[in-house]
Amino acid sequence: MRWAQWAAAGGIVHRPTPVPEGRCTVCNRRIRVLPVEIAPRKSYTRPVIETACTAYADERHPTITLRQTVARLGKSAPHPSSLHGWLGAVGARALGRLDRHGQGPPVAALIAESAKVLRPELHTEWNGRRFERAGYSVAPHKWRSRQRREQLEACARLFDTAGELFPQDAYPWSAWEQWLEARFDVTAWGFPARLSCTAIQQHPPRRPVVPYAPSRPLPACRDGRGAGRGSRQTKGNAHGARSPP
């Protein structure tokens, strides 16, 4: 059994899922075969991840935030930082930057196989389509680096392509994953939980509004000489009113 977070009416439910055990006919090793909805090393299922990432990258919601996006999932929704990590990792995977990190077959192989069977023009569209296509633009407040912008644009292209290939499915990206796994026998669109190079950007700190008293020079000693370095004469001196800290 494998416990995972599944999408349900009104929120996310935590329930077990049977995981069958298979045996390799070549080496006789036994392995667990995960359902297509459960990605390796992920507690949230693919439909949950797809719903959150698609909503945030949707061109019709340019002002939506990470917190607002996960709030739409209902109770037991993932933390906004989890969504931030999914967007960066899925975008990097779609860009082909994780091909050598054991996250599945190269993206070029996935696109070539899909173009050969499902949509012949997909190969040309995937390689030639501009990220900043008509009607889509990543809102400036969603990114502060070029790398992050490219990842969000790649997410939008990935989910849009999945919707074109499987328009009748409620979760097109998950349906595309199932179709690819039947041909490659391994996880196709694998991705890590987050990337260390895509930390959440914070707003710059506000300027302090509490006033403070300016520093004063050290008083002179009674013999006319200045106070020595590191010493401070306070006995007998009258101090004025102090400003609040």
- Whether 9 maps to a domain, the answer reads no
- Whether 26 maps to a domain, the answer reads no
- Whether 245 maps to a domain, the answer reads no
pLDDT category of residue 130 using cuts at 50, 70 and 90: very low
pLDDT at 134: 39
CA 126 to chain centre: 22
- Whether 23 maps to a domain, the answer reads no
Residue 4 above 80 pLDDT? yes
Instruction: Give, for 101, the enclosing helix (H) or strand (E).
Output: none
Quick count: other Cβ atoms within 10 Å of Cβ 36?
A: 18
- pLDDT higher at 89 or 223: 89
Q: How many domains does the chain have?
A: 1
- Alpha-carbon gap, residue 49 to 94, rounded angstroms: 15
Quickly tell me which residue has 């995981």 as its tokens.
Answer: 19
The residue segments making up the domain with residue 117 are 39-184
Residue-wise pLDDT for 66-99, tens only, equals 999 999 999 999 999 999 999 999 999 999 999 9
Residue-wise pLDDT for 132-188, tens only, equals 443 457 888 888 888 999 999 999 999 999 999 999 999 999 999 999 999 998 999
- Whether 97 maps to a domain, the answer reads yes
Please give the radius of gyration of the chain, using alpha carbons only, rounded to the nearest integer. 28
- Whether 79 maps to a domain, the answer reads yes
- Whether 121 maps to a domain, the answer reads yes
pLDDT at 135: 41
- Whether 216 maps to a domain, the answer reads no
Share of the chain above pLDDT 70, in %: 76
